[in-house]
Amino acid sequence: MSQTEICEKIILGYFSVRAYVDHLKLLLEYKQIPYTFQSCQKEQLDDGSWQGGLWYQEWRHNLNLDFPNMPFYIEKYSDGSQFSMTESMAILRHLGRKYSLYGDGSIQHMAKVDMLVDVAVELRLIFVNLTYFGDVEKEKSDYFKKTGDKFSRFETFMVNHGADWVCGHRITIADFILWTVLDYNVTLYPDILDPYPNLRAVKSRMESVTQVAEYLNSERFSRFPINSPYANWGGQKK
Ligand SMILES: N[C@@H](CCC(=O)N[C@@H](CS)C(=O)NCC(=O)O)C(=O)O
């Protein structure tokens, strides 16, 4: 594909849940990049198990993906060629490079951005483990301890960097995955960020960006479902 070809269309594919795609939609909305969200529902079979619906039956076979998975990301070019990829964090990093959301350009700053992204992913994993397999009432205080260590380190990081956004004065890819993880957490436990004023501030800052506020109030965004329907918590539609 030639570098001069114009990207005419972006397609982001995923199940109709927030889970591993939320940060990617948020970034595209923030940058006001037109995209099509191609979604499908998981379906429950007669034996009670769940199957990936259209993804399972069609898309994973016919989209020509190197490593078929959801979410997937496709750029279609004016010459008819296309670029496609999977892996939710690799897609985030691709969008970060494509739309200059990787910080001030120094390799040290980019490394810190990557570090913050990966810690946010660790927080997401703790959330996934609890909400799919655990008991959100019984395990609340244990969860606050596990996540609190990382939340307070984010808090200190922001104090040390005196910043508007999580990694300095510019918004970076770390802010999109962090917002998603924070929003999942306060949706589950509204008081979880009470001890962390900088995290609450950076979350509000994202929500007050005009195009983000418009997105969050639009039909393109729904707070639920966060997880797949078979999760212990967060798989419901409201
Ligand atoms: N490492 C992958 C994991 C993706 C993943 O686990 N996708 C789940 C939904 S959250 C899925 O059902 N993928 C489709 C499949 O496994 O066929 C990523 O971050 O994108």
Question: Mean pLDDT, 10 residues at a time, over the chain (238 residues)?
Answer: 73 97 98 96 91 93 96 95 97 97 93 97 98 98 97 95 88 98 98 97 98 98 96 90
Reduce the DSSP state of residue 19 to 3 states and report it: coil
Q: Give the pLDDT score at 1.
A: 52
Q: DSSP code of 38?
A: E
Helix or strand holding residue 7 (H, E): strand 7-15
Of the residues 81, 98, 115, the one at which a domain ends? 98
Q: Which amino acid does the sequence have at 25?
A: K
Q: Which atom of ligand 1 is nearest to the CA of 56?
A: 17
Whether residue 232 is contained in a domain is answered as: no
- Give the closest residue (by CA) to ligand 1 atom 2: 87
* Same domain? 166 vs 89: no
Whether residue 234 is contained in a domain is answered as: no
- Give the closest residue (by CA) to ligand 1 atom 9: 70
Q: Which atom of ligand 1 is nearest to the CA of 88?
A: 20
* Same domain? 144 vs 126: yes
* Same domain? 49 vs 119: no
- Helices 22-30 and 88-98 meet at what angle, rounded to 10? 10
Q: Which long-range contacts (CB under 8 A, 24 or more apart) does 130-134 make?
A: 130/233, 131/188, 131/226, 131/227, 131/231, 131/232, 131/233, 131/234, 132/227, 132/228, 132/230, 132/231, 132/232, 133/232, 134/232
Ligand 1 interacting residues, C-beta cut-off 6 A = 19-20, 52, 60, 69-71, 86-89
Instruction: Give me the CATH number covering residue 26.
Output: 1.20.1050.130
CA angle 167, 95, 14 (to 5 degrees): 115
Q: Give the pLDDT score at 3.
A: 55
Q: Are strands 7-15 and 36-40 parallel, antiparallel or unpaired?
A: parallel
Whether residue 18 is contained in a domain is answered as: yes
Instruction: Give 27 Cα–ligand 1 centroid separation in angstroms.
Output: 19
Whether residue 217 is contained in a domain is answered as: no
* Same domain? 112 vs 92: no
Instruction: Give 73 Cα–ligand 1 centroid separation in angstroms.
Output: 13
Whether residue 223 is contained in a domain is answered as: no
Instruction: Give me the CATH number covering residue 188.
Output: 1.20.1050.10
**Is the C-alpha dihedral spanning 157, 115, 148, 171 positive or negative?**
positive
* Same domain? 93 vs 112: no
Instruction: Give 70 Cα–ligand 1 centroid separation in angstroms.
Output: 5
Counting ligand 1 atoms within 8 A of each CB, the residue from 56, 70, 89, 92 with the most, and so the one to mutate, is 70
* Same domain? 83 vs 112: no
- Note down the domain range covering 81: 7-98
* Same domain? 90 vs 168: no
* Same domain? 15 vs 93: yes
| Domains in the chain, number | 2
Q: Give the pLDDT score at 162.
A: 72
